[in-house]
Amino acid sequence: MATSDSKPFIPLNIAVLTISDSRSLADDKSGTTLVDRLTAAGHKLAARDIVTDDVEAIQAKVKSWIADPGVDVIISTGGTGFTGRDVTPEAMEPLFEKRMDGFSIAFHMLSHAKIGASTIQSRATAGVAGTTFIFCLPGSPGACRDGWDGILAHQLDYRTRPCNFVEIMPRLDEHLKRGKARN
């Protein structure tokens, strides 16, 4: 991917949500990895929280951030595996107006290069809800580094060519602005 020096960097407001029954902010290495990377890139941390592996708790927090005009992007970490407590995709995907299947594919390609076939143990997912991008990463710091460095750092940078998410953000709510007859 190339970047354009003729375009300005546009900082986004990014919320980070850790989904865990056992972590606190003090020992949340994955959330800290994401916060460190997004702020080093020049983005703003809009919010940060930890919720338990509970569909209703996850949805309540994410819905509040979707409704907040001060949050452009939500990145979650944790709960994407196959254990009985892993419910992040079940909580997040019903909130998506549009799924982003390519994110999962790109994440698995990056992950496969590092951990091989073990990447199939992740259900990383992403989508758009209203005007908010939502990305769900696994709960390890390595997966958060891979997801940020290999995908999100580029797609959340307006200077990335040939295309990026930032340039389409003003058009995410077009369906809400159309009259009912045109839907």
The pairing of beta strand 73-77 with beta strand 13-19: parallel
For residues 38 and 45, is the Cβ–Cβ distance under 8 A?
yes
CA 129 to chain CA mean position, Å = 12
| Residues composing the chain | 183
What pLDDT score was predicted for residue 176? 67
pLDDT of residue 183 exceeding 50, the answer is no
Residue at 181 is within a domain: no
* Dist CA 31 CA 27 (whole Å): 9
Residue at 48 is within a domain: yes
Average pLDDT over residues 53-62: 98
Does the bond joining 89 to the residue before it have cis omega, within 30 degrees of 0? no
Average pLDDT over residues 116-141: 96
pLDDT digits (tens, 9 = 90+) for 69-121: 999 999 999 999 999 999 999 999 999 999 999 999 999 999 999 999 999 99
Residue at 180 is within a domain: no
Residue at 137 is within a domain: yes
pTM of the model: 0.94
Mean predicted lDDT score pLDDT of the chain? 94
Average pLDDT over residues 57-65: 98
Residue at 174 is within a domain: no
Residue at 3 is within a domain: no
* Dist CA 95 CA 27 (whole Å): 28
Q: What is the domain range of residue 142?
A: 9-169
- CATH code of the domain covering residue 38: 3.40.980.10
pLDDT of residue 171 exceeding 60, the answer is yes
Q: Report how many domains make up the chain.
A: 1
What pLDDT score was predicted for residue 178? 57
Alpha-carbon Rg for the chain, nearest whole angstrom, is: 16
Residue at 143 is within a domain: yes
119 token code pair? 């990447």
What pLDDT score was predicted for residue 5? 80
Band (181; pLDDT cuts 50, 70, 90):
very low
Average pLDDT over residues 164-179: 84
Residue at 109 is within a domain: yes
Q: Could you count the other beta carbons within 10 Å of the beta carbon of residue 103?
A: 22
